[in-house]
Amino acid sequence: MDEQLTAFLDFLRQEYKYSTNTTAAYKNDLSQFMSFLQEGRFDVETWDDVTDEVVDEYVDYMKLQSYASSSVARKVAAVKSFFNYLFAHNLITENPTTNIDSPKVKKRLPKTLSSEDIDKLLQAPRQKKSPKHLRDTALLTMLYSTGMRVTEVVSLSLDDVDLKNNLLICQGKDEMARELPLDKETKDAIVEYLENGRQYLVKNKDENALFLNHRGQQLTRQGLWLIIKAYAKKAKLSGDVTPHTLRHSFAAHKLESGSDLQEVQRLLGHANISTTQIYTQVTAEEDEQEKETSTDAA
């Protein structure tokens, strides 16, 4: 059974060009399903032994766990994708997930920060001028001003920064690079970091990553998350603030300021404009809340 799972993960990487993070998520979800099968309650020795009743029980089991409905839906979707692959490649005689419905997920609007809270967050690392603080100032400013994803930011190299033309070359999903404009504030923050910060962090002169950790190595996704969390706490922002919160805020604020939906789609690197359209709902909801607040005040 492990052999078929490995083949499926290779298939996702080679045929669909899924990223390492996406493939790892599939592996984790399917490994959890395998653990469920191996608890001893089912007589399952091959994938062909898995029936629709077994999958139904797994779905019910997942609903009883302390997962968000979106997480349950994702895990079930991973199982369905796997069995679709097995059936399409004649590795099983029947597909036990054909009539399995994925759990309904309540569509939640992306969480965004107000312009005031963004200012508080971006000012938090500017209180000091150490190499670390210069890095964090450039990092946070870039995250908000470009709307880049976490992986995209930590993957930036020195070669991706074109200061002469005020551009960033972002290596996005599915190896689709896009050019992102650098505004003056972001450019100034990057220049100061490069001139007065990075040179004190780098340990290996051949290191080409733009953002480095205290060991002089490329900053990791987890490291970036911890940085955001620390400055959000320092700025006394309520709720959970993540790198993706800045991406959501970038998109919503762009649309609020009159940017074209297609342009925001391009900047975010969305393959489908319907993904970008959700931010129009965010701005509409905020407008409605402002109207209610004004009415209450009157």
> Would you say 244 and 138 are in contact if contact means Cβ atoms under 8 Å apart?
no
CA–CA separation, 208 and 192 (whole Å): 17
Point out the residues that are catalytic.
149, 173, 244, 247, 270, 279
The pairing of beta strand 161-162 with beta strand 177-181: unpaired
- Sequential DSSP letters for the chain: -HHHHHHHHHHHHHHS---HHHHHHHHHHHHHHHHHHTTSSS--SSGGG--HHHHHHHHHHHHHSS--HHHHHHHHHHHHHHHHHHHHTTSSSS-TTTTPPPPP-PPPPPP---HHHHHHHHHGGGG--SHHHHHHHHHHHHHHHH---HHHHHT-BGGGEETTTTEEEEE-GGG-EEEEEPPHHHHHHHHHHHHHTHHHH--STT--BSSB-TTSSBPPHHHHHHHHHHHHHHTT--S---HHHHHHHHHHHHHHTT--HHHHHHHHT-SSHHHHHHHHHHHHHHHHHHHHHHHHH-
For residue 228 the two structure tokens come to 């955001």
Angle between helices 243-256 and 261-268 (to 10 degrees): 160
